[in-house]
């Protein structure tokens, strides 16, 4: 197939899923054309069957705001026409599904089907804002196919927007051959010189991630178990989080790594993954951590209970229940045997349920069915 993929190219789960999907499809012999305003983060180096088309934004003094939705639609038309695409797959509804619908209308009889993957805040947060709500609902309804990354997100979409459309659940996935605990780990030696346990968190440091909770959980755990905290990523809550570490007097044991692209080494250097989010439609980074054999301590929101099994691959607690999350962490870190059982179960769950080789064929089938339905 000739597949067009549109996503946000910067750090963030939806762009990562879109990019990893495109790479996996290309490996399976499809031609994949990425259409976005910048090269997606994980699309580094030459990859056979993968092409990138940059959406150019021209400025005009009259435009106070960039007209990205329109420029993207125009670029989609161009790529569909000249690269002879069979299907367009857009990730994150706003504004990608709207652009795809516009492109389809412009192409008329020469148009192609498009499918929209809903990822999270496009449905649970931003999409509900009055300035976007009608356009989001309309664009989802007009999509020829729709997928959501968890059952929870599917249900939220149907109930929040009153949509009756068929939505297929296709979960996030991970390359379990690549995301695998590395045995010898230099980074571990560096950050844990006295064999301290390592807690880890990665996110875009937005409010919904509740990064300050991560620091507070760590602050409780370190009172009972010698440990350090590694924070990966950047975003609006980073300064607050740094400030909180200063107030608690724990800066020497908290390592802010900022944005990182090679994560396997960092997961491999860690013992526990913390995800105390306020909202999480799936939790891709928790899956990557599990694939590297890390038990996860998370909140109970959204799709997280579909990903991890409480009491087997980690523990789940109510949002904001810092004490409980800290107790669970201490419990695992103190009991070597229990830790090993949880760590193996986390890896097993990733391999058996969310491996790239079992999930990508679901997208291929989804494309075929979507194309068939419009002919
Ligand atoms: O944070 C977002 O909502 C944006 C989105 C993204 O682009 O980073 O993340 C979402 O998509 C990921 C990939 O499907 C999911 O694993 C994340 O759980 C989800 N984030 C939230 O729901 C907060």
132 and 211 share a domain?
Answer: no
Instruction: Quote the ligand 1 centre to 287 CA distance (angstroms).
Output: 12
Dist. CA 203–CA 279, nearest whole Å: 12
168 and 193 share a domain?
Answer: no
143 and 193 share a domain?
Answer: no
Does residue 6 register a pLDDT over 90? yes
Q: pLDDT tens digit string along 298-321?
A: 999 999 999 999 999 999 999 999
Does residue 10 register a pLDDT over 90? no
Q: pLDDT value at position 148?
A: 98
Query: Pocket of ligand 1, candidates 119, 174, 237: which has the most ligand atoms within 8 Å of its Cβ, to mutate?
Result: 119
Instruction: Quote the ligand 1 centre to 321 CA distance (angstroms).
Output: 22
The whole domain housing 155 covers 2-173+355-373
Tally of CA atoms within 13 A in the half-sphere of 248 that contains its CB: 22
Instruction: Quote the ligand 1 centre to 233 CA distance (angstroms).
Output: 14
Q: pLDDT value at position 15?
A: 96
Residue 208 lies in a domain: yes
Q: pLDDT value at position 116?
A: 98
Work out which ligand 1 atom sits closest to the CA atom of 280.
22
Instruction: Quote the ligand 1 centre to 202 CA distance (angstroms).
Output: 12
Does residue 257 register a pLDDT over 90? yes
Q: pLDDT tens digit string along 182-221?
A: 987 889 999 999 999 999 999 999 999 999 999 999 999 9
143 and 272 share a domain?
Answer: no
Query: Pocket of ligand 1, candidates 91, 120, 296: which has the most ligand atoms within 8 Å of its Cβ, to mutate?
Result: 120
Does residue 59 register a pLDDT over 90? no
Mean pLDDT of the chain: 96
206 and 296 share a domain?
Answer: yes
Does residue 74 register a pLDDT over 90? yes
Q: pLDDT value at position 183?
A: 83
Residue 272 lies in a domain: yes
Instruction: Quote the ligand 1 centre to 67 CA distance (angstroms).
Output: 24
The answer to whether residues 235 and 175 touch, using CB atoms and an 8 Å cutoff, is no
Dist. CA 227–CA 210, nearest whole Å: 20
Work out which ligand 1 atom sits closest to the CA atom of 92.
7
219 and 85 share a domain?
Answer: no
Q: pLDDT tens digit string along 319-371?
A: 999 999 999 999 999 999 999 999 999 999 999 999 999 999 999 999 999 99
191 and 97 share a domain?
Answer: no
What number of other Cβ atoms are within 10 A of residue 362's Cβ?
Answer: 15
* DSSP reduced 3-state for 185: coil
Does residue 11 register a pLDDT over 90? no
Average pLDDT value for residue range 229-238? 97
Please provide the size of the chain in residues: 375
Residue 180 lies in a domain: no
Which residues have C-beta within 8 Å of that of residue 145, sequence separation ≥ 6? 113, 114, 115, 116, 168, 366, 367, 369, 370, 373
Residue 181 lies in a domain: no
Average pLDDT value for residue range 252-273? 95
Instruction: Quote the ligand 1 centre to 118 CA distance (angstroms).
Output: 9
360 and 329 share a domain?
Answer: no
Q: Ligand 1: which residue has its CA nearest to atom 12?
A: 13
Banded model confidence at residue 118, pLDDT cuts 50, 70, 90: very high
Banded model confidence at residue 375, pLDDT cuts 50, 70, 90: confident
Q: pLDDT value at position 110?
A: 87
Q: H helices within 58-142, ranges in order? A: 68-83, 93-107, 121-124, 133-142
* DSSP reduced 3-state for 17: helix
Average pLDDT value for residue range 229-252? 97
Q: Ligand 1: which residue has its CA nearest to atom 7?
A: 14
Instruction: Quote the ligand 1 centre to 63 CA distance (angstroms).
Output: 30
> In terms of DSSP bridges, do strands 31-36 and 2-6 run parallel, antiparallel, or are they unpaired?
parallel
Ligand 1 is surrounded, with C-beta below 6 A, by 8, 12-15, 17, 92, 119-121, 149, 172, 208, 279-284, 302
Instruction: Quote the ligand 1 centre to 247 CA distance (angstroms).
Output: 30
Q: What is the CATH classification number for the domain harbouring 123?
A: 3.40.50.2000
Q: pLDDT value at position 185?
A: 81
In this structure, what are the phi and psi dihedrals at residue 31, rounded to the nearest 5 degrees?
A: -95, 130
Q: pLDDT value at position 176?
A: 98
Strands (E), the chain: 2-6, 31-36, 50-54, 87-91, 114-118, 145-148, 168-169, 197-202, 227-232, 254-258, 272-275, 296-299, 314-317
Does residue 236 register a pLDDT over 90? yes
Average pLDDT value for residue range 264-275? 97
Which residues have C-beta within 8 Å of that of residue 127, sequence separation ≥ 6? 93, 94, 121, 133, 136, 160, 161
Instruction: Quote the ligand 1 centre to 301 CA distance (angstroms).
Output: 13
Average pLDDT value for residue range 137-154? 97
Work out which ligand 1 atom sits closest to the CA atom of 279.
23
368 and 221 share a domain?
Answer: no
364 and 324 share a domain?
Answer: no
The answer to whether residues 80 and 103 touch, using CB atoms and an 8 Å cutoff, is yes
23 and 156 share a domain?
Answer: yes
Work out which ligand 1 atom sits closest to the CA atom of 120.
22
The answer to whether residues 25 and 3 touch, using CB atoms and an 8 Å cutoff, is yes
Does residue 50 register a pLDDT over 90? yes
Q: Ligand 1: which residue has its CA nearest to atom 23?
A: 280
Average pLDDT value for residue range 113-139? 94
Domain count, the chain: 2
């Amino acid at each position: 197939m000739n597949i067009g993929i549109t996503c946000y190219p910067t750090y963030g789960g939806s762009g990562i899923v879109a990019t990893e999907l495109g790479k996996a499809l290309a490996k399976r012999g499809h031609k994949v054309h990425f259409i976005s305003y910048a090269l997606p983060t994980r699309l580094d180096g030459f990859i056979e069957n993968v092409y990138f088309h940059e959406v150019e934004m021209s400025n005009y003094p009259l435009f106070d705001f960039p007209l990205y939705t329109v420029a993207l639609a125009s670029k989609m038309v161009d790529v569909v026409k000249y690269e002879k695409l069979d299907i367009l797959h857009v990730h994150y509804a706003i504004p990608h599904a709207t652009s795809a619908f516009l492109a389809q209308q412009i192409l008329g009889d020469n148009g192609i089907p498009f499918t929209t993957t809903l990822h999270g805040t496009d449905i649970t947060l931003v999409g509900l804002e009055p300035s976007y709500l009608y356009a989001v609902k309309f664009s989802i309804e007009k999509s020829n196919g729709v997928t959501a990354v968890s059952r929870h997100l599917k249900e939220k979409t149907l109930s929040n927007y009153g949509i009756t459309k068929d939505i297929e659940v296709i979960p996030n996935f991970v390359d379990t051959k690549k995301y695998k605990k590395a045995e010898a780990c230099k980074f571990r030696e560096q950050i844990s010189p006295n064999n301290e346990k390592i807690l880890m968190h990665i996110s875009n440091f937005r409010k919904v991630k509740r990064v300050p909770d991560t620091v507070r959980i760590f602050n409780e755990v370190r009172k009972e178990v010698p440990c350090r905290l590694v924070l990966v990523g950047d975003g609006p809550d980073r300064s607050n989080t740094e400030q909180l570490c200063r107030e608690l007097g724990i800066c020497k044991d908290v390592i802010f790594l900022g944005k990182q692209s090679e994560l396997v080494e960092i997961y491999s250097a860690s013992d526990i993954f913390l995800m105390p989010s306020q909202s999480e439609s799936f939790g891709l980074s928790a899956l990557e951590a599990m694939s590297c054999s890390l038990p996860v301590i998370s909140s109970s929101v959204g799709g997280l209970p579909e990903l991890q099994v409480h009491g087997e691959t980690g523990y789940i607690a109510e949002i904001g229940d810092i004490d409980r999350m800290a107790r669970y962490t201490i419990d695992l870190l103190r009991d070597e045997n229990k830790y090993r059982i949880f760590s193996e179960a986390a890896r097993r769950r990733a391999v058996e349920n969310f491996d790239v080789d079992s999930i990508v064929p679901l997208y291929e089938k989804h494309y075929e069915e979507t194309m068939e339905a419009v002919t």
